[in-house]
Amino acid sequence: PGAAGRINPVPRVGIPCVVLSDGPAGCGILPVEGEENYFCTHFPIETLLSSTWDVDLVRNVGEVIGNEAKEYGVDVLLAPAINIHRHPLCGRNFEYFSEDPLLAGKMAVAYVDGVQSNDIGTSVKHFAVNNQETNRMNNNAIVSPRALREIYLKAFEIVVKESQPWTIMSSYNRINDVYASESPELITTILRDEWGYKGTVMTDWWGGADGAAQMIAGNDMIEPGTKEQAAHIIEGVKNGTLDEAVVDRNVRRILELVVRTPRFKGYKYSNNPDMKAHATVTRQSATEGMVLLKNEKQALPLSPKDKNIALFGGVSYNFFSGGTGSGDIHRPYVVSLLDGLKNQQIVVDDNIKAIYQAYNRPQEQGEQMRINEMPMDTAIIKYAAKNNDMAIITFGRISGEYIDRISSDFFLSDTERELVKNVTRIFHEANKKVVVVLNVGGVIETQSWKEMPDAILLSWQAGQEGGNSVADILTGHANPSGKLPMTFPVTLSDHWSSLNFPIDQKIDRRWSVKTGLTHETKNVDYTIYDEGVYVGYRWFDTQNLQVSYPFGYGLSYTTFEYSKPSVKQDNGKVIVEVTVKNTGKVAGKEAVQLYVEAPAGKLDKPVHELKAFDKTKMLQPGESQVITLAVHTDDLASFDEQTSAWVTDGGKYKFVVAASSRDPRGDVMVDISPSTRKVNNVLNLPAAFKK
Ligand code: BGC
């Protein structure tokens, strides 16, 4: 009870009820009246996990989530979600990994391997191009085959080839006119024929329209399934438009899933996972995905003198542990920043606390996704500056399923802006530091105010132990090693995709009614992915646009030196080695990135693309480690629509070892021979949208 769905039992033939439960930030079982209810551990959001750039850590988190799910009787965890962060306002970005398909793909591999090591299944979702919530059940994504292949399908390709997830969940939306769940080109030609997928495909809940078309496409299982869809199937078989052999094929694939499940094997789940151990895992892993955006004059970690803290911002007292919708978790508690600091013997100003706690927050307005910040009197700030050693301000944002964020949610509100302005001015006048903590699920604007505070910590939504994890970093018990899995732009309109995203579009954003295929309202009925492959840093870096914080960026309490990289070629692979040394005073980890710049060829390309990454182990001061970054030359290819082929141009490629997409640390030139791999000519643009 409380899980998202199931495979219906057929006791007559020994088919048990297989349980499907949501993720990705833990096991999503909701309380149900009249049933025995259990809490599940709330782990960090996926965006935080990808900020770790640490596949071993994510694999371990997946393993623990999978164990908890299994012990609650779950057979398939409906996670990870791996859609691309096409635009910062997508309401579900918090559930997704990155704007980059390689990072998203490798994180997905780690997550799936971890969960499935428990002999339960995953459902990698939402296949594919589910990049907005507005009219998500009907929106028609108009995307070029090249952008599909290189950006929107790539992460799925990686996880299918490397991990064979037990199931894939097709997405709600249409792609070039056809519902994803009804697209044989997507679900059979590409997924199974080209990539070799062997598992089961299920719909997203109530997704698609025509049950028979879904069967033909190879979408084996319809969740939760409607009477209409069942009627389509029966009718189709009767009138000969749906071959019974197709139904048998799909049924077989469902049964192949069933027989793998713990339920079928009679596993006796305990309903008693080790919640204490799991809390420790979420606390510790969360610290590794928090991103230190700014740390002037080593404002952090707190020094022993920083004993008394004035805590500003309503969210400090009420942390967001994750987003809303199916990605939410029925957690036992959330540690606020207040509690996290107290747990580490830091004294928080009680008077400020009392003011916040007494504040009668005005009703949140309709679509607003931040809490209404309390206006703070400067006299109180002056009192606080006099009586405390420093100030921390938390700004929070929450978003979730069914609804995209609105543009004003991206910017600080006037009250928030006043708060950071006044607190920094008054505390700085008293020679005291100010730290801003961002308890957000996605990108917000930072350019206009980031000069004010001394330090900025992007804590993301860090699960139920969030306040403890932040306190671990503030006090220096943990050294931040997270780096951004997406760009923080100067402003929203800098994203090319802002021209084609439902920004503040006034429609009923919730469940969209499945209308027929219409091309009426732009960005609602249909969305043109005009930017092609120029998503995230591929756009900003190619245009050399100023950004607030680049992709891959994040500071540490220590410093790292990169040696000159060396390179060799082996068996179709380019292998770059670099030695990374901790040159600072405390132990730390460094995420190392490899970008490749291709020579000019037939297709225009982003100036560089991430092709490999790795993270050091914990390096003690003075310690170094050799990092090996391997790239298969096939993965240097771009997709040529004219010939429907992956084409690697021959010529000199620059392999750049970097600390972020804007922080190159050394490079090597490599001669690559040309190669071409032809694939199927599918998923073409509808005629009306061909250029
Ligand atoms: C979401 C899926 C989720 C499913 C089951 C849908 O609304 O899009 O991500 O797994 O519900 O809860």
Q: Looking at residues 433-461, what average pLDDT do you find?
A: 98
Which pLDDT band, with edges at 50, 70 and 90, does 547 fall under? very high
| 3-state per-residue secondary structure call for 201-264 | EECCCCCCCCHHHHHHHCCCECCCCCHHHHHHHHHHHHHCCCCHHHHHHHHHHHHHHHHHCHHH
> Which is the closest atom of ligand 1 to the Cα of 22?
10
What is the Cα–Cα distance from 9 to 388, expressed in whole angstroms? 62
Q: 157, 105 in Cβ contact below 8 A?
A: yes
pLDDT for 690: 87
Q: Looking at residues 421-432, what average pLDDT do you find?
A: 98
pLDDT for 364: 56
Q: Is residue 46 within 6 Å of ligand 1 at its C-beta?
A: no
448 CA to middle of ligand 1, Å?
36
Q: Is residue 465 within 6 Å of ligand 1 at its C-beta?
A: no
Q: Is residue 204 within 6 Å of ligand 1 at its C-beta?
A: yes
Q: Is residue 205 within 6 Å of ligand 1 at its C-beta?
A: yes
> Which is the closest atom of ligand 1 to the Cα of 402?
7
For helices 378-387 and 414-429, angle between their N-to-C axes, nearest 10 degrees: 40
> Which is the closest atom of ligand 1 to the Cα of 79?
10
- Tell me which residue has tokens 């709600």: 172
60 CA to middle of ligand 1, Å?
24
Q: Is residue 25 within 6 Å of ligand 1 at its C-beta?
A: no
pLDDT for 508: 57
CA-to-CA separations, 13 to 16, 74, 473, in angstroms, rounded: 9, 21, 55
- DSSP letter at 344 equals T
The string of pLDDT tens digits covering residues 306-315 is 999 999 999 9
- Signed CA dihedral, 48, 50, 51, 57: sign only: positive
b/e string for 571-599 if b means 16 or more Cβ within 10 A? eeebbbbbebbbebeebbbbbbbbbbbbe
**Residue nearest (by alpha carbon) to ligand 1 atom 6:** 205
Question: Does residue 598 register a pLDDT over 70?
Answer: yes
> Which is the closest atom of ligand 1 to the Cα of 126?
9
The continuous run of DSSP H or E covering 59 comes out as: helix 55-71
Return all residues near 53 (Cβ < 8 A) that are at least 6 apart.
103, 482, 483, 485, 591, 593, 613, 614, 615
Q: Is residue 4 within 6 Å of ligand 1 at its C-beta?
A: yes
- Tell me which residue has tokens 């398939």: 76
Q: Looking at residues 576-587, what average pLDDT do you find?
A: 98
Q: Is residue 78 within 6 Å of ligand 1 at its C-beta?
A: yes
204 CA to middle of ligand 1, Å?
6
- DSSP letter at 100 equals S
Instruction: Return the closest-CA partner of residue 332 out of 398, 401, 278, 395.
Output: 278
Question: Does residue 464 register a pLDDT over 70?
Answer: yes
- Exposed/middle/buried for 570, CB within 10 Å: 0-12, 13-18, 19+? exposed
504 CA to middle of ligand 1, Å?
23
Question: Does residue 582 register a pLDDT over 90?
Answer: yes
The string of pLDDT tens digits covering residues 58-69 is 999 999 999 999
Best residue for ligand 1 mutational test, from 326, 329, 401 (most atoms within 8 Å of Cβ) = 326
603 CA to middle of ligand 1, Å?
37
Catalytic residue among 204, 525, 614, 667: 204
Return all residues near 278 (Cβ < 8 A) that are at least 6 apart.
41, 64, 68
Which pLDDT band, with edges at 50, 70 and 90, does 369 fall under? confident
> Which is the closest atom of ligand 1 to the Cα of 123?
10
Return all residues near 52 (Cβ < 8 A) that are at least 6 apart.
58, 285, 288, 289, 481, 482, 591, 615
Residue 204 annotated among the catalytic residues of the structure: yes
251 CA to middle of ligand 1, Å?
22
- Exposed/middle/buried for 418, CB within 10 Å: 0-12, 13-18, 19+? middle
Mean pLDDT of the chain: 96
The string of pLDDT tens digits covering residues 76-117 is 999 999 999 999 999 999 999 999 999 999 999 999 999 999
Instruction: Return the closest-CA partner of residue 111 out of 19, 24, 195.
Output: 24
Q: 84, 107 in Cβ contact below 8 A?
A: no
What is the Cα–Cα distance from 652 to 655, expressed in whole angstroms? 10
Q: Which two tokens mark 83?
A: 């859609």
Q: Is residue 137 within 6 Å of ligand 1 at its C-beta?
A: no
- Signed CA dihedral, 150, 155, 161, 162: sign only: positive
SS3 state of residue 347: strand
pLDDT for 361: 73
221 CA to middle of ligand 1, Å?
14
The string of pLDDT tens digits covering residues 127-180 is 999 999 999 999 999 999 999 999 999 999 999 999 999 999 999 999 999 999
What is the Cα–Cα distance from 89 to 91, expressed in whole angstroms? 6
**Residue nearest (by alpha carbon) to ligand 1 atom 5:** 4
Q: Is residue 79 within 6 Å of ligand 1 at its C-beta?
A: no
Instruction: Return the closest-CA partner of residue 219 out of 275, 179, 256, 176.
Output: 179
- DSSP letter at 303 equals P
206 CA to middle of ligand 1, Å?
9
Q: 485, 536 in Cβ contact below 8 A?
A: no
**Residue nearest (by alpha carbon) to ligand 1 atom 8:** 204
pLDDT for 95: 98
The string of pLDDT tens digits covering residues 509-526 is 445 567 778 888 899 999
Q: Which two tokens mark 273?
A: 């996972």
> Which is the closest atom of ligand 1 to the Cα of 136?
8
Record the pTM: 0.98
What is the Cα–Cα distance from 357 to 313, expressed in whole angstroms? 11
- Tell me which residue has tokens 């809390």: 279
Q: Is residue 547 within 6 Å of ligand 1 at its C-beta?
A: no
160 CA to middle of ligand 1, Å?
20
Q: 4, 326 in Cβ contact below 8 A?
A: yes
467 CA to middle of ligand 1, Å?
28
> Which is the closest atom of ligand 1 to the Cα of 95?
9
b/e string for 338-374 if b means 16 or more Cβ within 10 A? bbbbeeeebebbeebeebbeeeeeeeeeeebbbbbbb
pLDDT for 512: 58
Question: Does residue 463 register a pLDDT over 70?
Answer: yes
pLDDT for 444: 98
What is the Cα–Cα distance from 158 to 164, expressed in whole angstroms? 10
What pairs with residue 678 in β-bridges? 645
Q: Is residue 22 within 6 Å of ligand 1 at its C-beta?
A: yes
**Residue nearest (by alpha carbon) to ligand 1 atom 3:** 326
Q: 323, 94 in Cβ contact below 8 A?
A: yes
SS3 state of residue 42: coil
Which pLDDT band, with edges at 50, 70 and 90, does 363 fall under? low
Q: Looking at residues 340-362, what average pLDDT do you find?
A: 93
Total count of residues recorded for the chain: 691
What is the Cα–Cα distance from 67 to 74, expressed in whole angstroms? 10
pLDDT for 513: 61
